[in-house]
C-alpha cells in the first residue's frame, strides 16, 4: 500500500471505526457498489484496487460515464467495507473531478492543434495521482516537478541577469529550454537565443495572436494565465501549441459518487 493511502486510512479510521464495531456484526458479509450520481470522467480506480482485495471494476480511468452507472463492486465483511468507504470516496471523487474538468477543457479545443497542459499547482502529496487523473481526462502532463524539465520564469530571469544569461546558463543542462517572456523585447531576445519553447503569460487572445505571428514557428508556444473554460477556445484558436491551466488540478470540483452497501444473501 502506498504511504499516501496508508496515511489517509490512519487519518480516518484511527484506533477503529467505533460506529461499525458497535452496530454491525463482525462476521456479516456484504458487497459495496460505487455508483455515479452525475456525468463524469472516471479516474482513481487504482486506489480501489489497492483498498479492496475482492474488487470487480466495471469501468476504467478515462471513460466518460452517465449518472447511475456502477463503477466497481467490492466484496468483504460489512465492517471493512464501511471502514474504507469514506477514504475510497474521497480519492475517487477528487480524482474523477480532476479528470472531468480536464475532459471539459480538452473538448473545448478538440477542433484545434492546441494541447492542454496541466501544471505543478497540485495538492501536496497528490501530484502523481492528480496528474494521472488529468491525463485520464485527455490533458498532456507538463513537468512533474523541478527536476525533469527547464522552465525559466521571471524570477529566474531576474536572478540570472537577463534572458540571454539565463538561456546560456541553462544550455549546460542539455535539456530543452522553456522560458517565460513578459515583453516584446524579451520575446525577441529569447528567439535570438533559439529558445525551444516560449511561455506567454497573461495576454489577451488578440495579443497572443500578434506575438505568435512574430514567433512564426521558430519555437513552441504555450499560453497561460487565468485561462478558463469560457476563454480557452479563443486562446487555442490563436495558433498556440499549448495552453496550460492550473485550475484543472487546483480548482476541480469533487464529483458526486455514492457507495451503496448490499448485504450478502
* Residues with catalytic roles: 86, 121, 153, 180, 201
C-alpha dist (Å) from residue 187 to 181, 214, 226, 239: 6, 9, 21, 17
CA gap 202, 200 in Å, rounded: 7
Helix intervals (H) in the chain = 3-13, 18-23, 45-51, 78-108, 127-136, 154-160, 163-170, 184-192, 205-215, 232-236, 247-250
CA gap 176, 164 in Å, rounded: 15
Give phi and psi for 256, each to the nearest 5.
Answer: -95, 110
CA gap 70, 229 in Å, rounded: 28
CA gap 259, 262 in Å, rounded: 10
Q: Are strands 115-117 and 242-244 parallel, antiparallel or unpaired?
A: parallel
Instruction: Give the cell for residue 106.
Output: 480538452
In what helix (H) or strand (E) does residue 76 lie, and over which residues does it extend?
strand 70-77
| 143-171 burial code (b ≥16 CB/10 A, e <16) | beeeeeebbbeeebbeebeebeebbeebe
Instruction: Give the cell for residue 101.
Output: 474538468
Amino acid at each position: 500500500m502506498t504511504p499516501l493511502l496508508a496515511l489517509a486510512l490512519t487519518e480516518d479510521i484511527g484506533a477503529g471505526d467505533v460506529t461499525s464495531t458497535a452496530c454491525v456484526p463482525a462476521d456479516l458479509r456484504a458487497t459495496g457498489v460505487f455508483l455515479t450520481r452525475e456525468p463524469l470522467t472516471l479516474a482513481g480506480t487504482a486506489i480501489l484496487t489497492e483498498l479492496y482485495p475482492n474488487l470487480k471494476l466495471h469501468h476504467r480511468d478515462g471513460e466518460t460515464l452517465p449518472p447511475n452507472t456502477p463503477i466497481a463492486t467490492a466484496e468483504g465483511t460489512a465492517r471493512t467495507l464501511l471502514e474504507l468507504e469514506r477514504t475510497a470516496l474521497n480519492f475517487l471523487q477528487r480524482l474523477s473531478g480532476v479528470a472531468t474538468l480536464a475532459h471539459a477543457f480538452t473538448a473545448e479545443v478538440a477542433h484545434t492543434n492546441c494541447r492542454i497542459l496541466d501544471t505543478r499547482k497540485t495538492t501536496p502529496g497528490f501530484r502523481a495521482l492528480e496528474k494521472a487523473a488529468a491525463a485520464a481526462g485527455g490533458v498532456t502532463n507538463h513537468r512533474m516537478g523541478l527536476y525533469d524539465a527547464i522552465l525559466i520564469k521571471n524570477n529566474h530571469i531576474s536572478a540570472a541577469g537577463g534572458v540571454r544569461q539565463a538561456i546560456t546558463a541553462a544550455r549546460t543542462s542539455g535539456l530543452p529550454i522553456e522560458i517565460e517572456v513578459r515583453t516584446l523585447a524579451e520575446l525577441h531576445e529569447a528567439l535570438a537565443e533559439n529558445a525551444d519553447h516560449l511561455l506567454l503569460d497573461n495576454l489577451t487572445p488578440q495579443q497572443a495572436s500578434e506575438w505568435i505571428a512574430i514567433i512564426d514557428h521558430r519555437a513552441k508556444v504555450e499560453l497561460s494565465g487565468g485561462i478558463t473554460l469560457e476563454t480557452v477556445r479563443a486562446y487555442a484558436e490563436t495558433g498556440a501549441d499549448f495552453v496550460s491551466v492550473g485550475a484543472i488540478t487546483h480548482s476541480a470540483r469533487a464529483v458526486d459518487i455514492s457507495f451503496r452497501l448490499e448485504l450478502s444473501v
